[in-house]
Every structure is written in structure tokens, then in C-alpha cells.
Amino acid sequence: MQLTKQHIADANGNLKGHQADYYYLSQKLIDQGVDVDALVQKVADFQVAIPSWALGAGGTRFGRFSFHGEPGNLEQKIGDVGILHALTQTAGAVSLHIPWDTPTDYAAVKQIADQNGIVFDAINSNTFQDQPGTKHSYKHGSLANSDEAIRAQAVAHNNEVVRIGEKLGSKTLTIWLADGTSFPGQRSFQKALSQTEKSCKEIYGELPQDWSLLIEYKPYEPNFYSTVIMDWGTSFMLANACGDRAYTLVDLGHHLPNSNIEQVVATLMSKGKLGGFHFNDSKYGDDDLTVGSIKPYALFLIFNELVYGMANNPQNPDLAWMIDASHNIKDPLEDLLQSLEAIQEAYAKALLIDQKALEAAQLNHDVVKCQEILQGAYRTDVRPLLQKARLNGGGALNPIEAYRSLKVREGLIGERGKHTVATGL
């Protein structure tokens, strides 16, 4: 099912209400000195990669409630990303997971991606599950394993993922390790870390010159006593040990409760080592919930640091923006539409912060004014700006309403059937 601009324009219907809202807001912002056209363009340019594994209902370890019409192969997954992109104009990339998404026909996959305006962002390796046909098990670790043969198998898998990514035009490898321990004393922390560093360096050493490596961290799960790459500091250390093209990836759900993620972002960007993002939201842990559904103000504060860093840290590379989500009860595509909107909303609000006024208030130690500036931006309803950015690109005024009125899920069920299972978490 491919959505045309005409389908979407029909679903948009009358734009008068939007035009009035946009006019009112843009006049207010212009009075405040905001370059509204430039802001709308920045929002329109912001593209977020959809993870291939979030297009089906992953469920939880207690069960999985299928969502009918789920994509059954890579081509269909890219088709789903195409639907999201057509509606939002902000999902122009996909992040694949190998071996779940290993293409059988590269030309066909690339063609479908082209037709949908989708590029291949960071590609993910998987050494947290044993795969059919592999000699060794990752039960006791992969890149950190004490057994050299197992580490070599995990390194070889990562090299293979890069070769697959090269054929698709990807330029980034993301490593997330499940390696760790569930019980004290199970393994030497120091040895596990140094083996991991050695393995990461081997992978990095095989990367093509125009590729970069993103290293994700996570404090616990699936191991519950320790994780080898437990926090941003460990990831940062490993990235430094690898070299200039290795960076830390921040997944919002991979922090202990109340961590100051915006400070982590600022610190990494100042050192030129923030490479990518996995957006999601969380109440307790790695919940992989809809972006902005629990802590939208925290997301805004994170974007404040990102906007500052993008303007002031030329030492930091362009970031790979990705969602990392899992769905249990919502239609995955509707959930992703909500996430995309929340990301753009936080970004647009952060762009509204008057950085000069904020700096002046900071230098004056005017704490109250600093908060007023941040919260003034946060309290602005920027949705007309997001609508304008979407409409300029031929997207939907309201993506979820359009998705429903165009009966997209019904169309997918018609094409794929009711009893479908998507691969992935």
C-alpha cells in the first residue's frame, strides 16, 4: 500500500483552520524576533530513522498480541516506513537489524526504498541471540566473552553486518551488547571490559573509511547484576579507544531513574562524541514507550542541549536520529506517528529558546529568568509549525487522522492478511 500525495491531500480536506492557527502563531513569533520560515524549514529537514523491529507488535516477555497486517518481510517493513514518511515527511530513513532483516534481493529492497524516499541509516548487529547455523552460543556473552572463539564469531558477525550495510548505502554500525552478569562474582569486570574493548577495536579496524561506529550503553537487562557497557562513560571510553569515527549512542530508556540525560548529551557533544540517538520514553527502565508519552519536558530539555550543541559544537558529527520502540497494545504505525510528532514538537520548542537572552540571564545569575525563558518556549503550542512543515512537503495535516480516514491498517490487512508476524523485538 503506497500513499500518494493526492490521497493525503484528500484526507487533509479544508486547511482554513490550520491557516488561521499558523497565521496567529507566526505573527506572535515574528514579533518576538523569530525567523519562522527558517524554523519551519529546520523542522522539515529533521529526519528520523524508523527501526525495522518496531513495525510489528513486539509485545513483552509475558505475551504478544498480534496486530493484524504486520509486515512479514523487509520489503513490507520498508513499505510501512514509506507510509509513515508520506504522512509525516519526517521518517525518511530506516534502521535495520541483522540477521532479522538480511535482504535476499538487494536490488528489490533498494528499489522499494527509493520509491518510498527512504534511505538506510545505522545498521544494527545482533549478538544477543543465537542464530541458526552459528557454531557458538552467546549465552555467556559475545564481544566480552572469555572464550576467544566466541568473541571472534561475534566480531565476524559485526563485520558481516557492515558488508550488508554497504550494499544498501548505510554508513553506520550500531552495537548494542547484552553482555554482562546476572550474579556477583560471575565474571571479572575488568577482563570483560578489556575483552570488549579489544573486540570493538577489531570491528572498528574493519570499518570502511566513510563509516562510523555507534556504541550503545545500558545499565541492566537482560543481565540484571551488571552490564559490560553500563553507562555513557564506558561507551565514551570504548569509543575513544577505537578512534575518531567511534561515538556514543544515547538511548533515552537506558538510564537509571532520574538520570540527567540532558547533561549527558551536553557533555558528550562538548567532546565531539555524541553519534546517535534512540528516542523512546520510559517510566521505570528500558520501557521503549511512545516518545513524549511520559516525560515530554525532559525531552524538551534534552533537545535544548542538542540544539545548543548543533550550533556550538562543530567537533561533534551530525547525529543519527532514530526511534527505538516496542509495541504491546497500540497499532505500531500509530504509535510511531505519535513518536515522530513528539520528537518534532520537542525540537521546534527547543528552537524557540532565545539562546542570547538565556545566556545573558545565566551571566546575570538570574535563575528565575532562565527558567522563564525555557518554560516560555516549552509552553508554546508549536503544532501549527509542524503542520506547516508537513504540508510544505505534501504530508498530512494530522497524520493519525489521515492514517485512520485513509484506512491504512485495513489496506495492509487486505494485502497481507490477518495472521502476520513481524520479526524482531
Q: Which residues bind ligand AOS (CB under 6 A)?
A: 53, 97, 124, 176, 216, 218, 251, 278, 286, 324, 425
Residue 124's binding partner, choosing from Zn ion, ligand AOS, none, with beta-carbon cut-off 5 to 8 A by kind?
A: ligand AOS
Residue 53's binding partner, choosing from Zn ion, ligand AOS, none, with beta-carbon cut-off 5 to 8 A by kind?
A: ligand AOS
Torsion angle (degrees, nearest 10) of CA 252, 256, 262, 264: -100
**Residue of 101, 281, 286, 331 that binds Zn ion (CB under 5 A):** 286
Residue 197's binding partner, choosing from ligand AOS, Zn ion, none, with beta-carbon cut-off 5 to 8 A by kind?
A: none
Query: Between residues 251 and 335, which has the closer beta carbon with respect to ligand AOS?
Result: 251
Residue 331's binding partner, choosing from Zn ion, ligand AOS, none, with beta-carbon cut-off 5 to 8 A by kind?
A: none
Segment contacting Zn ion by CB under 5 A, of 3-11, 137-145, 155-163, 248-256 = 248-256
- Per-residue binding string, Zn ion, 289-328, x by CB under 5 A, is -----------------------------------x----
CB environment 358-397: b (16+ within 10 A), e (fewer) = beebeeeeeeeebeebbeebbebebbbbbbbbbbeeebbb
* DSSP codes of every residue in 227-278: ESS-SHHHHHHHHHHH-TTEEEEEETTSS-TT--HHHHHHHHHHTT-EEEEE
Q: Decide if residue 341 touches Zn ion (CB under 5 A).
A: no
> To which residue does cell 542541549 refer?
305
Three-state DSSP class for residue 65: coil
Q: Decide if residue 281 touches Zn ion (CB under 5 A).
A: no
Which has the closest alpha carbon to 77: 127, 107, 39, 120?
A: 120
| Contacts (Cβ under 8 Å, ≥6 apart) of 338 | 290, 291, 292, 293, 400
Distance, in Å, from the CA atom of 189 to the CA atom of 279, rounded to the nearest integer, reads: 29
Query: Between residues 218 and 349, which has the closer beta carbon with respect to ligand AOS?
Result: 218
Task: Provide the minimum distance between the beta carbon of 414 and ligand AOS in the complex, in angstroms, as a whole number.
Answer: 29
Query: Between residues 126 and 344, which has the closer beta carbon with respect to ligand AOS?
Result: 126
Query: Between residues 51 and 395, which has the closer beta carbon with respect to Zn ion?
Result: 51
Q: Decide if residue 278 touches Zn ion (CB under 5 A).
A: yes
Query: Between residues 99 and 103, which has the closer beta carbon with respect to ligand AOS?
Result: 99
Q: Decide if residue 251 touches Zn ion (CB under 5 A).
A: yes
- Residue 146 has φ and ψ, to the nearest 5°, of -75, -15
Residue 157's binding partner, choosing from ligand AOS, Zn ion, none, with beta-carbon cut-off 5 to 8 A by kind?
A: none
Query: Between residues 227 and 398, which has the closer beta carbon with respect to Zn ion?
Result: 227
By the 8 A CB rule, do 10 and 305 touch? no
Which has the closest alpha carbon to 80: 67, 71, 89, 92?
A: 71
Residue 76's binding partner, choosing from ligand AOS, Zn ion, none, with beta-carbon cut-off 5 to 8 A by kind?
A: none
Residue 156's binding partner, choosing from ligand AOS, Zn ion, none, with beta-carbon cut-off 5 to 8 A by kind?
A: none
Distance, in Å, from the CA atom of 51 to the CA atom of 53, rounded to the nearest integer, reads: 5
Task: Provide the minimum distance between the beta carbon of 418 and ligand AOS in the complex, in angstroms, as a whole number.
Answer: 25
**Burial class of residue 405, CB neighbours in 10 A (0-12, 13-18, 19+):** middle
Query: Between residues 175 and 406, which has the closer beta carbon with respect to Zn ion?
Result: 175
Query: Between residues 25 and 161, which has the closer beta carbon with respect to ligand AOS?
Result: 161
Strands (E), 280-413: 320-323
Query: Between residues 215 and 389, which has the closer beta carbon with respect to ligand AOS?
Result: 215
Distance, in Å, from the CA atom of 378 to the CA atom of 380, rounded to the nearest integer, reads: 6
Q: Decide if residue 231 touches Zn ion (CB under 5 A).
A: no
Distance, in Å, from the CA atom of 414 to the CA atom of 387, rounded to the nearest integer, reads: 30
Which has the closest alpha carbon to 227: 163, 155, 144, 152?
A: 144
Task: Provide the minimum distance between the beta carbon of 58 and Zn ion in the complex, in angstroms, as a whole number.
Answer: 11
Residue 145's binding partner, choosing from Zn ion, ligand AOS, none, with beta-carbon cut-off 5 to 8 A by kind?
A: none
- Tell me how many degrees the CA angle 352-316-227 measures, rounded to the nearest 5: 105
Task: Provide the minimum distance between the beta carbon of 83 and Zn ion in the complex, in angstroms, as a whole number.
Answer: 23
C-alpha cell at 76: 513490507
Binding site for Zn ion (CB under 5 A): 251, 278, 286, 324
